[in-house]
Chain A
Amino acid sequence: MVVLEVSPISTEELWSSVSDHWVLGHPPDQGLSLLSAQFGRAVNVRDALNQAMDEELERDERVFLLGEEVAQYDGAYKVSRGLWKKYGDKRIIDTPITEMGFAGIAVGAAFAGLRPICEFMTWNFSMQAIDQVINSAAKTYYMSAGAQPVPIVFRGPNGSSAGVAAQHSQCFAAWYGHCPGLKVVSPWNSEDARGLLKAAIRDDNPVVFLENELMYGVPFDLSEDVLQKDFVVPIGKAKVERRGTHITLVSHSRCVGFCLDAASVLAKEGVECEVVNLRTIRPLDVDTIEASVMKTGHLVTVEGGWPQYGVGAEICARVMEGPAFNYLDAPAVRVTGVDIPMPYAKILEDHSVPQIKDIIFSVKKVLNM
């Protein structure tokens, strides 16, 4: 087995500067909301999602939330904290543990004029209901030749967490990203979470909203503009989080943070990375990716999911098929999760997911350093 020992800084050192996240298995945090004079305020991802839903519920009567433990328990991960108290039984509905059934019910409600937010406690459980998401939600507008829109949002935490083992750690970005008729978004920070959720709820199409449990407790500064009630992040548009000239790193969700951390380390060695936060998996913002690759000539994609037929694979294929290919000075490369079911033991789990050192290693390989 190849053991990577090339990073100049240990993962632990880098991670010690990132906030301690509450994960499933630890009590949820109380919701950090520090006042920051310059920036508006610091809001963690959980609260950003909560506030977005609150504002959209207030704005449009047709919006309602259903899912397991979303009402009286305040949400399994506390994302819907306070909403049931404020809006009551009609708008915030606790369902039995019957995903296929309640996802179908949610889609039916969307057919008949409502705008449901259907929560899956984790996206792993969506597999019980995937027929309703794909066959009933995604395809209907097409099958009806435009007669029946399906304005629904499916949301919940996606991807790996900490110690939750094989059946609770899968990333579904590639699965849902594969299907025409669905919009699939994967926010990284609080601004993404807030803006994309608002956009998703206002969108008249079925949106798969992939959150990340390990990001829920992480605070980010939000400007006054972002905190406006009509702030939305457009679906289908990626964001360049960091400008650079030597190489393009394309990522989504939590891995965007890892890319930025890797970029900081690499900057000390004179390598300037451009970090692209996809924000949306489908429709993919190929233009932003291509523009970046045409500038830097090098590409590394980073994702938590499995490599085969994944998000990175799609990005590489698109780059090959488009104008950016001629600007590549080296083959594009993917950093992904290891191609195995997620093991439980900590040492094995740590080696199953992409780490900052993997990104640094891959960048150096691509740049022939």
Chain B
Amino acid sequence: FSWTCLFYTTHFYHTLLNKPEMQYEMETSSSNLSAVLTREQGLQYYRTMQTMRRMELKADQLYKQKIIRGFCHLYDGQEACAMGIEAGINPTDHLITAYRAHGYTFTRGVSVREIMAELTGRRGGVAKGKGGSMHMYAKHFYGGNGIVGAQVPLGAGVALACQYQGNNQVCVALYGDGAANQGQIFESFNMAALWKLPCIFICENNKFGMGTSVERSSASTDYFKRGDYIPGIKVDGMDVLCVREAIKFAADYCRAGKGPIVMELETYRYHGHSMSDPGVSYRSREEIQEVRSKSDPITMLKERMLSNNMASVEEIKEIDVDIRKVIEDAAQFAISDPEPPLDELCNHIFANDLPMEVRGTNPWVKLKSVS
């Protein structure tokens, strides 16, 4: 079975090398591309997205019970972005994002158990309880970053390393609409284009940077055009297939050595900015409800599969039941796993270094640090 996606593509300037002055031509066109979804893929995408959804909702619950503390930025509503991207790249490709990272941590291969135990700050967490919500890492996944925009130059740097090592890998560097105005992003664009780095810059536009709508933060809300001299693609981020096809296109483009590409995924978050933001002082409950009922990424995929006889209602239910079990088991683990041991406190300051002494809270407390 195939499915049609809508793309908007922007092409930027054409330099005519045999003319003394450069000519700028801006052409915005929309392309229709068709994508193929197999039953296996459909079920896999459904399972992954539903797991992400349920995991985030469980995190919400645990946060309200004060078992998770500090920062918690939930991803529910945006699952199609993480899933579509993962489906379009290889596990050997690289990815970096900001603090709304639980979904990506999962798609990049960390188990729900390890994610939840990290949120509850236990030794079984993916960062041994030392990182927390915003600082989870995995192979070819560079977090989880707390400072808005900082992850983008980092991503360009990962892409530089890929180019340098000639490994044909690409880096996906994600940021939000709030971060899109950061200067360091434009600095990254410039160097990535100059040096033709295999970097896919992706703006997950969920319409709000904390409490500030895109209209109030950005002189231009066409985030896919912000790369100026870098071609940009705008994609419906609620449609996992659109995201997948766009990423495939972008990854091929980068691997061919053509340089970076900018992508904008139009998406939506159901929760507020974080668990301390109710999320309704700057948008209406009606708006949130409308997105839930009309554009929910998981519902959309499910309905497509059902209406095309790619899966049965019972099958989907079974998957849901299974996922519930996985989440419950992970939550149980996250609650019962012990906190990290105190002698871990000072470890991991330096890599590949001799053990050293670390000053404690007063001069008589001498703590030990190993790599």
Contact = CB atoms under 8 A, between A and B. Distances in A.
Interface of A: 1-2, 4, 24-28, 68-69, 72-73, 76, 94, 96-98, 100-101, 124-125, 127-128, 161-168, 307-308, 333-341, 343-348, 351-355, 358, 361-362, 365
A338 B362 contact: no
A96 B121 contact: no
Given A98-B183, A334-B363, A347 B210 contact: no
Majority secondary structure of chain B interface residues (helix, strand, loop or mixed) = loop
B295 interface: no
B210 A68 contact: yes
B346 interface: yes
B218 A348 contact: no
Given A25-B70, A338-B367, A351-B342, A97 B131 contact: no
A4 B365 contact: yes
B115 to A, nearest CB: 13
A14 B346 CA distance: 27
B42 interface: no
Nearest to A76: B210
Given A100-B183, A167-B147, A344-B135, A339 B359 contact: yes
Contacts of B368: 1
Nearest to A124: B147
Interface stretch (B17-25, B85-93, B275-283, B309-317): B275-283
Contact of A344 (B131, B216, B275, B369): B131
Contacts of B274: 25
Nearest to B349: A340
B365 A345 contact: no
B366 interface: yes
A160 B149 CA distance: 22
A1 B340 contact: no
Majority secondary structure of chain A interface residues (helix, strand, loop or mixed) = loop
A22 to B, nearest CB: 9
A69 B345 contact: no
12 contacts: A1-B342, A2-B360, A2-B364, A25-B274, A72-B211, A98-B181, A125-B148, A167-B146, A336-B361, A343-B345, A347-B339, A365-B362
A1 B69 contact: no
B69 A101 contact: no
B130 A26 contact: no
A230 to B, nearest CB: 34
A79 B240 CA distance: 41
A69 to B, nearest CB: 5
B49 interface: no
Nearest to A341: B349
Contact of A25 (B71, B212, B367): B71
A345 B276 contact: no
A96 B212 contact: yes
A94 B181 CA distance: 14
B365 A163 contact: no
B147 A125 contact: yes
Contacts of A98: 181-183
Q: B69, B134, B181, B282: which has the most chain A beta carbons within 10 Å?
A: B69
Contacts of A73: 210-212, 281-282
B72 interface: yes
Contact of A165 (B122, B131, B209, B217): B131
Given A2-B360, A24-B276, A343 B129 contact: yes
Nearest to B358: A339
- 4 pairs of A and B residues whose beta carbons are closest in the complex: A163-B70, A344-B132, A345-B121, A345-B129
